[in-house]
Amino acid sequence: MNHRPLGCTAAVLLALCGSAQAQSSVTVYGSFDQYLNYMKSNSGTSIKGLEDGAILRTRIGFRGIEDLGDGLQAKFTLEQGIYGNSGTTADSSRGWDRQAWVGLAGSAGEVRFGRQNGPIFFRGGYIDYSSRTLGSMVNNFGVPSRFDNDISYLSPRIAGLQFEGHIALGETTAGLTAQAVYQGAVDYLNGPFRVGYAGLRGKPPSGALYSTQVAYDNLYANYDYGRGKVYLTYVRSNNNTSGAAGRTAGTILGNVGGLVAGTNPDVNNYFRILQASVDYLVTPALRVGALWGTITDQSGNSRGASGGSVGAYYSLSKRTTLYSLVDTLRNQTNGSFRPSGSSALPFNFTAQSDVQGHTMNGVQLGIQHSF
């Protein structure tokens, strides 16, 4: 792995620290998430290892806010993912792979420019007890997270409603929006009830062999009953294609960057995901939860899957959590979905003979610390 970004990161951090005096505030933040993982496929192959990022990918970040007066603020975020079990950067080609944006915020909302988390990714906490991470079937399908050259607007919440819109510019010779990625969301909160929608469209170039846009539509609802929440979610997407591990092991647009080339016939195949989840606060420190979900191949080619999980999270403090999970993922004959956490598992099943059409069961035990 190329480690040059780590050297660049150190130089940028020194510059940030040196300029902190000129900011209203600069905050260093991050997380460290490590877990022991045991998974076994009914092919007979098993995995035992130390993994990174079940709940939150290990990361370090910097946030800055400057008060410009009259309620206006200038803001920035720089965030880099790290493999905590090896100390290497999550993306060797980027110094700040997770976020790198600057923006202005005021009473009318917030505008941001740069690489940033999208509305689908941001709403993970509204989807299920795991915050749509390890153990979530929605997460196993794949979640569009962030894209380059992104311009966004986040509205204030008015009468319970909040709106968010993004356009990630394609920046090709055909024009800025020729292969743009559009994202939008509406969220409504009223007491214990929350309902909303988050979606994406990725455009292929003009005259592409396959003109269908990559789509991801997510409807969600949850209800806070006092000691926990009940969650329901629906997803429909065609952002799936074959990969080394089988027929549904890859994505067309990708979840953290890229453009739609318009050359993949799988863009015409759609999947539907239905998932239900509940959690319960046993004590102020101990929360337990469970979920079950199905991925349905709407083309009828038996490329779907089903699965679920149960989990427990024990807060040692406001910053440190111990957790354990038991999960199962059951692929149909031509399904090749694999378990995934807040980040892809560094050590996962990679052979089609262990994934496609197979069931994978797992047990995880970990610790997550935020600072």
Digits of tens for pLDDT over the chain (371 positions)? 444 444 444 444 444 444 444 458 999 999 999 999 999 999 999 999 999 999 999 999 999 999 999 999 999 999 999 999 899 999 988 989 999 999 999 999 999 999 999 999 999 999 999 999 999 999 999 999 999 999 999 999 999 999 999 999 999 888 888 999 999 999 999 999 999 999 999 999 999 999 999 999 999 999 999 999 999 999 999 999 999 999 999 999 999 988 999 999 999 999 999 999 999 999 999 999 999 999 999 999 999 999 999 999 999 999 999 999 999 999 999 999 999 999 888 899 999 999 999 999 999 999 999 99
CA distances from 318 to 134, 137, 138, 357, 371 (A): 21, 28, 27, 41, 10
The CATH number that applies at residue 182 is 2.40.160.10
Assess if residue 302 is contained within a domain: yes
**Is 252 a member of any domain?**
yes
Both tokens assigned to 101: 């944006």
Residue 14 lies in a domain: no
Report the pLDDT value the prediction gives residue 176, as an integer from 0 to 100: 85
State how many domains the chain has: 1
3-state secondary structure of 135: coil
Do 123 and 162 meet the contact criterion of CB atoms below 8 Å apart?
no
Which residue range is the domain that position 65 belongs to?
33-370
User: Can you give the pLDDT at residue 174?
Assistant: 83
Confirm whether 10 is domain-assigned. Answer: no
Q: 20, 63 in Cβ contact below 8 A?
A: no
Residues 6 or more apart whose CB falls under 8 angstroms from that of 75 comprise 63, 64, 65, 66, 102, 103, 104, 105, 110, 112
Q: Is residue 1 part of a domain?
A: no
The CA-to-CA distance between both ends of the chain, in Å, stands at 27
Q: Is residue 248 part of a domain?
A: yes
* Predicted structure pTM score: 0.91
Specify whether the CB–CB gap between 82 and 31 falls below 8 A. Answer: no
**Tokens 């005096």 sit on residue:** 21
Residue 300 neighbours by CB under 8 Å, 6+ apart: none
Q: Say if 324 falls within a structural domain.
A: yes
Residue 23 lies in a domain: no
